[in-house]
Every structure is written in C-alpha cells, then in structure tokens.
Amino acid sequence: MSANEYPLQQTLTALYTEHHSWLRGWLRGKLGCSEKAADLAQDTFLRILAARRALSALEQPRAYLTSIAKHLLIDHWRRQDIERAWLETLSTLPESYVPSPEEHVLVLEALFRVDLLLDKLKPKVREAFLLSQLDGLTYCQIGEQLGVGERMVKKYMAQAMVACLQVEYE
C-alpha cells in the first residue's frame, strides 16, 4: 500500500463506521428488504473505494452516500423490471423452449447489457437503432419516421454500432 492510499483507507473506514448503519436503514426504507439494503449499502462503499476520490474534503458525507446509493437503487429497479419482463416472456413459452438455469442467467446478463447500452445512446440514435434492429425498417424509412435524412440515419447507426462494440469490448 502506497503512502497516498493509507489516508484514503483511513477516511473510508471512518466514513463507513460513521454512516454505514444510517445508509443501510435509509436503503431498507426504500427497498423494504434488509438483506437487499445491506447489499446495496456495501455496493455504495465499494463504488467509493473503486473511485479512489479524495474523501477528506467531503462536507456532506450523507448527501454523497445518498447520491451513489440512488444510482444503485435505479440500477436495481431497472434490473428487476428486465427480469420481470423476461419471466413474463418465459411464462408464455412452451416448456420445451424454457432455457436451462445456466442459459437463463446468460440471457438475463445479455438483457442487462443491452439495456445499459440503450440507456447510454442519445434518444434519436437509440430510436434509429431500435427501428432498424427490431422493426426491420430501412434507413430511408427510419429517416422518414424520425424526420431526418438517410445520411443522418447512417450517422446514428454508426454511433449505435460503435456503442455496441464498446460494450462487447468491455
């Protein structure tokens, strides 16, 4: 451990000691589940540790913790929505098409990654990408629907493809 990391560890330890119980309680109020609240509280501190941000200058530590925890809550709820939609889809399939538990986990992870990708795209780029990939529209048709030229649609699609490659690379 370098000399620079030791003060960070001390500050993080103090932050954890002073605010972990409060944060866990705040999350429990939002989630209604103490186990999930404990997980997200832990994840909040892991995010802080990974960021390696100088914590000694924090004037409002609870506001900082709340901000990080809110982002984690949003991610949690989005993942729940995706999983719920996937389970609803599975319930409509014949039993012979239901994936194994391993495939189920892989599909969910792929869906989470696609959701993250789509969320990062600008609205017009996302819409062009979805119109192309899900509806099978041509670039000309997409342009008409979005009120832009075909050249702009090509630009949107290029941006979407670059984002896909970045997700794949990660």
Residue type, 113: R
What range defines the domain where residue 70 resides?
Answer: 5-76
CATH number at residue 61: 1.10.1740
Same structural domain for residues 58 and 95? no
Domain boundary (50, 76, 102) is at 76
Structural domains of the chain, count = 2
Its pTM stands at: 0.70
In a domain, 82, yes or no: no
Same structural domain for residues 70 and 96? no
Same structural domain for residues 69 and 97? no
pLDDT, tens only, 66-117:
999 999 999 999 999 999 999 999 889 888 888 888 998 999 998 998 898 8
Q: How far is CA 136 from the centre of its chain?
A: 27
pLDDT, tens only, 111-148:
998 898 898 899 999 999 999 999 999 999 999 999 99
- Local structure of residue 92 (DSSP, 8 states): T
* Residue 53 CA neighbour count, 13 Å, CB half: 13
Contact 142, 128 (CB under 8 A): yes
